[in-house]
Structure 1
């Protein structure tokens, strides 16, 4: 099935995890996909691994110049855009007394400011009837230990989506939030879990999830595909929780 054939899609943070899986699925379904990420080698490797003519562009969504360069590349190569998935994000866990200004500012710069100004920059290129997906987090609606700052950065995205869904109604651009629960991605390693401890960690954490396990990045990719495809044509301004039921616990 090529239900995205002829569409142009941008996926930020598309070099790993949920972003990479989403970019791959979109490309398999016929879209011309552009991925972005901060590390050139990782972006280029991911683009080559995905194939399907995926284009990799390097840049940090926290930097406004990156959005300007992305706009120029999209305009030059394709003339317009149909799908934007704002997936790039960072996380630094700490109890409130231990949060540094640098940690706070970095998380809001990437997760919140980067998303807002990415959408602002790309809107002139986004064709009428297009789709925007903001990748949020379970932490935005469920209190998790040491997640206060990260949760705040992601909670803002739901407010953005609701406002943009109304602001863009005349252009029939739909805006939704994809809210993942625990997913087995490289973030687990970044949180300090070693490769040796990873299986035990995933099993222990899985017991806290009604589904009994962590999510797979491909499951999140399929949810993103639903949100950007015509299958969800009457879904707008909502937050789709893909968390194995963890938000219920």
Structure 2
């Protein structure tokens, strides 16, 4: 059903994983979709596959976010849906953390997300929907995840304050917090094949539903937040982790 027909949606980090799945679902429900990413080749390929518009933008650079906002304003004027999805993952103990790792994760996941919202608020139509991609790690205390978890906890805080600030314009702001999802992000951490297998088995062992989540499921939840059925929901965090956080 094209429940989002006539809506214009912007998905950051839309060339792969959850962003790609969300863009596909939003388009299937009738929205006109724009995806962003850092690499032109990847964005062009994803945009062609999805039948959407691709724009190059590094969400870790405020100047690039400002350029993106100007480009969106010039081509579309206003948008109705903003899915702030772009993010990076680095795992390290607190003792061994480097400034470079800290700046990379916080720069994209927190600072980048913050200013993506900040710079695009003027382009949001009244009644628009904003969705942050957070993580169930925002409310758990796993070893080696201090920087990443902190960045996602910060997102949930921004989400709630933005929900209050934007409520007078009937703009709803929510977040989706997945647990382990089958995407390329784990491969980018640097695990070899055996390490990835071991980590996957460890995660499944902690999930009551005994499975890794699918990006498509998260995409459907993002689309739900953007539709009429969620018109009275704002400032909410939905945890999608197969019950993993219940055992944390």
TM-score band by shorter chain is over 0.9
Match of 2:11 in 1: 11
Match of 2:209 in 1: 211
Distance 1:216 1:205 in 2: 14
Instruction: Give the deviation of 1:191 after TM superposition.
Output: 2.4
**Could you list the runs of 4 or more consecutive aligned residues of structure 1 that deviate by over 4 angstroms after TM superposition?**
195-201
1:117-128 to 2 correspondences below 5 Å: 117-128=115-126
Match of 1:63 in 2: 61
Preserved CA contact (<8 Å) 1:33 1:55:
yes
Instruction: Give the deviation of 1:202 after TM superposition.
Output: 3.0
1:215-234 to 2 correspondences below 5 Å: 215-234=213-232
Preserved CA contact (<8 Å) 1:202 1:213:
no
SS at match of 1:97: coil
- Tell which deviates more after alignment, 61-70 or 177-186: 61-70
SS at match of 1:211: coil
Preserved CA contact (<8 Å) 1:4 1:26:
yes
Match of 1:38 in 2: 38
Match of 1:239 in 2: 237
**Aligned residues between the structures:** 247
Match of 1:20 in 2: 20
- Which segments of 5 or more consecutive residues in structure 1 lack a partner in the other structure? none
Preserved CA contact (<8 Å) 1:25 1:221:
yes
**Normalization by structure 1: what TM-score?**
0.95
Distance 1:234 1:63 in 2: 33
Instruction: Give the deviation of 1:203 after TM superposition.
Output: 3.8
Query: Once superposed, what is the RMSD of the aligned Cα atoms?
Result: 1.3
Question: 139, 146, 153: which is aligned to 1:155?
Answer: 153
SS at match of 2:95: helix
Distance 2:192 2:209 in 1: 24
Q: Does 1:146 align with 2:110?
A: no
Question: 86, 89, 92: which is aligned to 1:91?
Answer: 89
